[in-house]
Amino acid sequence: MTAQATSADVDAVRRKIETLGFRAHIIPGAQRTAIGITGNPGAIDPAEFQDLNGVAEAIRVSKPYKLVSREVKKENTVVSIRGVPVGGAAVAFCGGPCSVESREQILESARAVKGAGGQLLRGGAYKPRTSPYAFQGLGEAGLKMLADARQETGLGIVTEALDVENFDLVEEYADCIQIGARNMQNFSLLRRAGRARKPVLLKRGISATLEEFLMAAEYILSGGNYQVILCERGVRTFADHSRNTLDLSVVPAVQRLSHLPIVVDPSHGTGRRDQVHPMALAAVAAGAAGLLVEMHPSPDNALSDGYQSLYPQQFAEVVRDCSAIAQVIARKQPLV
Ligand code: PEP
Ligand code: MN
């Protein structure tokens, strides 16, 4: 739609789409509203829409993913997590432990994130663990501790929904629902996330191509949830100097093809504490919308991912140095 299009114009286009028996996706933007059409069995003639009031252009999307593509929406999408914009001018910093372990641990983490200048708190209450004997998370008790940490610090909460079964509960407490790498192609979970009314952070699968990643996001948007943040967290390669290989070239590749914001997780991306700070800098330099970083008040005693978790002081250094990088590349970043 044009920047001048009224809500009545948008509504008229929506009604026309629905009259044809298709689904209309109204995706708002800062300047212009984009309207996607799904459910059409074949091609629709753009001329059907071209002359309606307020329509700037009607185009056929050539990509297999539709709603996530830049063809449908040219402007960057900015996803707001409890008022914190992700995908705008400033880099968003999310820090916290891999797992919520206790009330004290998550409160201490939250204070450290806030003190460092971070805006969002991460921490899993339901953990996808390689071994069934490893710590699986505190469940609802962990979600309550996260809510307490939010209450005290005002930080928005990012936490994982592991399956459809616990999704409702996670949605109730979270400000942003994480879908983990191992679940990137869990299609029933993606469909459930499409019905959520909270933002979703979708992590790239361990061996997912860019197209598979974007198609997974398409599941969520096609369900009517347009608040999706993509997250690069490393892919599996032959390299053994790191746990995964952080694929930073996916950042500009996503930005070319999609309007969705992409953030980077250098913690799982490298799996080694000493590599997190340099790769965080590189991620911001490459244009990441934000960072997801594991930080623990006492990493050596962590119940999961301690070897890649930063000490609070190191997290503060990441925020400070990445803010400086953001300034250099002309992002509107306050210096921390
Ligand atoms: C996590 O964020 O702690 C996590 C398990 O991430 P991933 O799904 O990327 O492995
Ligand atoms: Mn982890």
User: Does ligand 1 lie within 6 Å of residue 96's CB atom?
Assistant: no
Q: Per-residue pLDDT for 121 more than 90?
A: yes
What pLDDT shows up at residue 330? Answer: 77
Q: Quick one: 121 and 40 in the same domain?
A: no
pLDDT in tens, 258-298: 999 999 999 999 999 999 999 999 999 999 999 999 999 99
Ligand 1 contacts CB of residue 128 (under 6 A): yes
Determine the pLDDT at residue 334: 64
Q: How far is CA 55 from the centre of its chain?
A: 30
CA 304 / ligand 2 centre spacing (Å): 6
Q: Is the dihedral of CA 322, 327, 331, 334 positive or negative?
A: positive
Name the packing angle between helices 140-153 and 103-116 (round to 10°): 40
What is the C-alpha separation between 307 and 5, in angstroms, rounded? Answer: 53
User: Residue 267 and residue 197: Cα distance in Å, rounded?
Assistant: 28
What was the pLDDT predicted at 335? 66
Same domain assignment for residues 301 and 166: yes
**Residue 271 located in a structural domain:** yes
Mean pLDDT of the chain: 96
What pLDDT sits at residue 305?
A: 97
Residue 333 resides in a domain: no
Q: Are residues 39 and 136 in the same domain?
A: no
In this structure, are 175 and 250 located in the same domain?
Answer: yes
Domain holding 30, by residue range, is: 7-50
30 and 103: one domain?
A: no
207 in Cβ contact with 235 (< 8 Å)? yes
Share of residues in the chain with pLDDT > 90 (%): 94
CA distance 279 to 286: 10
The yes-or-no verdict on residue 318 having pLDDT over 90 is yes
The answer, yes or no, to whether residue 10 has pLDDT greater than 70, is yes
- 155 Cβ contact list (under 8 Å, min separation 6): 110, 113, 114, 118, 119, 120, 121, 149
Q: What per-residue confidence (pLDDT) applies to 54? A: 97
Q: Are both 205 and 269 inside the same structural domain? A: yes
pLDDT of 333 reads 66
CB-based burial, 127-149: b 16+ in 10 Å, e otherwise:
beeeeeeeebbbeeebbebbbeb
> Does ligand 1 come within 6 angstroms of the Cβ of 233?
yes
pLDDT value of residue 12: 97
- Domain match, 107 and 153 both: yes
Residue 241: pLDDT above 70? yes
pLDDT band at 336 (very low <50, low <70, confident <90, very high): low
Query: Using 50, 70 and 90 to split pLDDT, how confident is the model at 62?
Result: confident
Would you tell me how many other CB atoms lie within 10 Å of the CB of residue 78? 16
Query: Candidates 120, 129, 146, 160: which one to mutate for ligand 1, based on the most atoms within 8 Å of Cβ?
Result: 160
Give yes or no: residues 272 and 216 share one domain. Answer: yes
| Res. 88: pLDDT tops 70 | yes
108: domain CATH number?
A: 3.20.20.70
- Cβ of 204 closer than 6 Å to ligand 1, yes or no, is no
Domain tally, the chain: 2
The predicted pLDDT at position 331 comes to 76
Has residue 1 been placed in a domain?
Answer: no
Assigned domain for 70 exists? no
Give 63-82 pLDDT, tens digit per residue. 899 999 999 999 999 999 99
Ligand 1 atom having least distance to the Cα of 234? 9
**Cβ–ligand 1 contact at 184 (below 6 Å):** no
Q: Is residue 67 part of a domain?
A: no
- Tell me, what's the pLDDT at 332? 65
Q: Does any ligand 1 atom lie closer than 6 A to the CB of residue 66?
A: no
Same domain, yes or no: 43 and 185: no
Structure confidence at residue 15 (pLDDT): 97
Nearest to residue 299, comparing CAs of 262, 332, 255, 267?
A: 267
268 Cα–ligand 2 center, Å: 6
Is residue 157 located within the same domain as residue 228? yes
**Cα-to-centroid distance, 180 and ligand 1 (Å):** 5
- Provide the 10 A C-beta neighbour count for residue 274: 10
Q: Is 143 in the pocket of ligand 1 (CB under 6 A)?
A: no
> Which DSSP helix (H) or strand (E) runs through 92?
strand 92-96
Mean pLDDT of 248-256: 97
Question: Ligand 1 centroid to 336 CA: how many Å?
Answer: 27
Q: Is residue 113 part of a domain?
A: yes
- Asked if residue 315 is part of any domain, the answer here is yes
The pairing of beta strand 84-86 with beta strand 79-81 = antiparallel
Does ligand 1 lie within 6 Å of residue 243's CB atom?
A: no
Q: Based on the fold, state whether residues 163 and 255 are members of the same structural domain.
A: yes
Query: What per-residue confidence (pLDDT) applies to 163?
Result: 97
Q: Check whether residue 12 and residue 138 sit in a common domain.
A: no
Higher pLDDT, 221 or 41: 221
Whole-number Å distance between alpha carbons of 97 and 116: 15
- Residue 219: how many other CB atoms lie within 10 Å: 25
